[in-house]
Amino acid sequence: MRKLIISLMLILSIFSLDTVAQTLSINPEELLFSRQLEGIEIELENISGEPLSVGLVGIFPWDSMQFEVQIPESRHCQAALKDVRGALSEYFEEQGEEPETVEDLIREGYLDLEEEMFEMWEFTWSGLFPPGWIFAVSTSEMPDGEGHRLFYDVQGHKMLGYGTWGTQVWIQIDVDEVRNILVRYYMRSDGPHNGHIMVLSSTAGGEGDTLFIPIVGDVNRAVSESQLIPSGFEMSASYPNPFNSQTIINYKLPKAMEIELILYDLKGRHVRALYSGHATAAHGSVTIDGSELASGEYIVKMVGNGAALNQMVVLIK
């Protein structure tokens, strides 16, 4: 059903690309990518006269596009998550036990959070102590609303979730406000590339637009044999994501090494090992079979040669 809806949207886009938005102004109206990996910033301006809910979804190809919203609240919260991590370590070292809540850290003087930050976010953690994951979930006091989640992978030193790189973005834009979105589009093969970003906007009264930003690119990546070996340790965005049966994750290695790919739930609990063993240099992939998993969000961690990478996948049944 999801694929059918997206196909219908693409058909409708033929008639929609040249229309003028009544609620949202987008600049630029077309994204031109000329390199294998490139970031382009787009501006979304609310011209509806009312607060807007806006969603951006990469139509094609799903695994080649990522978004990042420049959200001050997310940036501040990411800094707070690192402060919580430091406070947890200090508390455990001195008290010999795990605090029950973030309020314990504040009350005992291990953590100093601005009152506004404490009102906008609820902080928790999980995993064997010291925790492997620290979470923040937004409350109704946060400008973009409640339920937005940020995750700090302590071991991998990486942030995931709201305001970080992802395959979909959902935000609120106030009256006359301009929000900046950074788009990365990864071209996997030579030749022309075409796709769209679907932009959905809606006011509280139900008025809105379905707009499409064309993506155009043409790449000639003549490479030598030595360039076929990746220069780093990389894990590409899973495809498809969200998924309802299976999704594939591609990875790259700078050399042959022992690696592990592990699936965790959002509480940091081990769900299953996706791969563990020797992997040769260059490219590889693993498949996540969701047939025996519950719907929800999961974290994929890849570890090898002292490096660690994480990404979130979403299973919808």
Higher pLDDT: 61 or 309? It is 309
Is the separation of the CB atoms in 298 and 289 below 8 Å?
Answer: no
Residue 82 has pLDDT above 60, yes or no: yes
CA distances from 199 to 24, 170, 171, 315 (A): 9, 10, 11, 22
pLDDT per residue over 108-151, tens digit each? 999 998 888 889 999 998 866 667 789 999 998 887 778 888 88
- The number of C-alpha atoms within 13 Å of 161 and in the hemisphere containing its C-beta is 24
| pLDDT interval class at 282 (50, 70, 90) | confident
**Other beta carbons within 10 Å of 72:** 9
Give me the mean pLDDT over the 149-169 stretch. 78
Residue of 22, 28, 72 whose CA lies nearest to 46: 22
pLDDT of residue 123: 94
Q: Which domains does the chain have, with CATH numbers?
A: 21-71+165-216 (2.60.40.10), 72-161 (no CATH), 226-315 (2.60.40.2550)
CA atoms of 275 and 193, how far apart (whole Å): 32
pLDDT per residue over 9-57, tens digit each? 443 343 343 444 578 888 888 887 665 445 678 888 998 888 888 888 7
Q: Which pairs with CB-CB distance under 8 Å and at least 24 residues apart come from 7-14?
A: 9/59, 9/198, 9/210, 9/212, 10/59, 10/196, 12/210, 13/196, 13/198, 13/212
| pLDDT interval class at 167 (50, 70, 90) | low
The model scores a pTM over 0.75: no
Name the least confident of 69-83, 209-223, 263-277, 294-308. Answer: 209-223
